[in-house]
Amino acid sequence: MTLSQKSLEEYIMNLENPKDIQMLITSMVTQAYELNHLIPNIEVIFYRMFMSPITGKEERKGNDKENLLYGNIFAPKKISLTYFGYKSLLETLILDPKKKHFKKVIAYLMAYEDKEKIDPEIFELIVKIGVDQKYPVLLGQTMKYFISHGY
């Protein structure tokens, strides 16, 4: 038996406790090898669930231009993605860089993470992607926001 992306999205949306979702995310990305027989390519599926979930595809069409997190399955419950979740998203983004996806990760980080809990390695990955992909304006705006808000 294997789980599809849609099944996993529906399972996450039906979980009531945000801590359960947080633990699931951490388990998915830290135990990807062990879970591969149940959920092949789990880190890529997590990336797709975060960036463009199947469950909200129709309602998201066109609406995510102004609100990058529109239709995101984690945002309504304000789930902290933890160090492991962000590291996985950013490392996957390095392999297939898209500016809009980069913006989504940054927007989610700014909106739902406690600034004291963000690991410096996450900031380093953001800077690395911004420099490597030549996003100077976005990177400058992001770093200015982080500095001015005490990150």
Burial of 49 (0-12, 13-18, 19+ CB in 10 A): buried
Q: What percent of the chain has pLDDT over 70?
A: 91
Tell me the HSE value of 12 on the side-chain side, using a 13 A CA sphere. Answer: 29
pLDDT band at 132 (very low <50, low <70, confident <90, very high): very high
First to last CA, the chain: 43
Cα gap 52→46, rounded to integer Å = 10
Contacting residues for 147 by C-beta, under 8 A, at least 6 apart: none
22, two tokens? 């947080």
Per residue in 89-124, pLDDT (tens digit) is: 999 999 889 999 999 999 999 999 998 999 999 999
Top pLDDT among 55 and 145 is at 145
Nearest CA to 50 among 112, 1, 2?
112
| pLDDT of residue 12 exceeding 80 | yes
Does residue 85 contact residue 72 with C-beta atoms inside 8 Å? Answer: no
pLDDT, residue 43, reads 86
pLDDT, residue 38, reads 72
114, two tokens? 């406690």
Q: What is the mean pLDDT of the chain?
A: 88
Cα–Cα distance list, 114 to 63, 107, 110 (Å): 27, 13, 8
Contacting residues for 99 by C-beta, under 8 A, at least 6 apart: 133, 135, 138
Taking the domains of the chain in order of start, what are their residue ranges? 5-148
Would you report the helix, strand and coil content of the chain in percent, each value rounded to 5? Answer: 70, 0, 30
Per residue in 47-92, pLDDT (tens digit) is: 999 998 877 677 666 666 678 888 889 999 999 999 999 999 999 9
